[in-house]
Amino acid sequence: MTELAQDKMAVLHEFIAEAAAKEYAESYLIAVLHKAQELFGYLPRQVMDEVAEALQIPTAHIWGVATFYHYFNLEPIGKHVISVCMGTACYVKGATKILDVLKKELGVQIGQTTEDRLFTLQEARCLGACGIAPVIMIDDKIYGELDAKKTVEVINQIRKAEGDGQK
């Protein structure tokens, strides 16, 4: 484990210790996994093993929980996470098209990360921004009232910003 990862692990252990001191400690498993994902960006197998050890919960159970909930990533994600809202309002207003455009533009399927590790494409259930459908969320920012052209523009803007940053 790298030094950076060890630092993160220390933060996680602290969080687990706090939870473990509470009543019904094992009920904080999901909160612990949230914390782990916040720190590592996804849930690496090794981290789940450590959580199992610290909370005295079988890894199999943790694996079961982690795979049950959509929110948890089991693979490393790209620098930017694109969530395409597939809620009903967005669907009615053409979300599938937006998704198709993104798949072609990025050359990935849902749940995959681009080769340059810049983007991960995900589906979201509903981002609750139905008033400005169709929407996508990139990291924490919502882009609304999209069409195919605007979507590609958004992606290119980010690519450009990233490219400029590297120069």
Residues at the contact surface with other proteins, assessed by CB under 8 A = 24, 26-31, 33-34, 57, 61, 64-65, 68-72, 86-89, 91-93, 97, 100-101, 104-105, 124-133, 140, 147-149, 151-152
Minimum distance of other proteins from residue 106's CB (angstroms): 12
62 versus 113: smaller Cβ distance to other proteins: 62
Minimum distance of other proteins from residue 163's CB (angstroms): 21
According to DSSP, residue 113 is labeled B
Minimum distance of other proteins from residue 152's CB (angstroms): 6
Helix (H) / strand (E) containing 138: strand 136-138
Query: 1: which 2 tokens?
Result: 């484990």
Minimum distance of other proteins from residue 119's CB (angstroms): 16
117 versus 160: smaller Cβ distance to other proteins: 160
Instruction: List strands edge to edge, sheet with 80-85.
Output: 119-124, 80-85, 136-138, 141-143
Q: How many residues does the chain have?
A: 167
Could you tell me which residues come within 8 angstroms of residue 130 by beta carbon, excluding any fewer than 6 positions away?
Answer: 87, 88, 89, 90
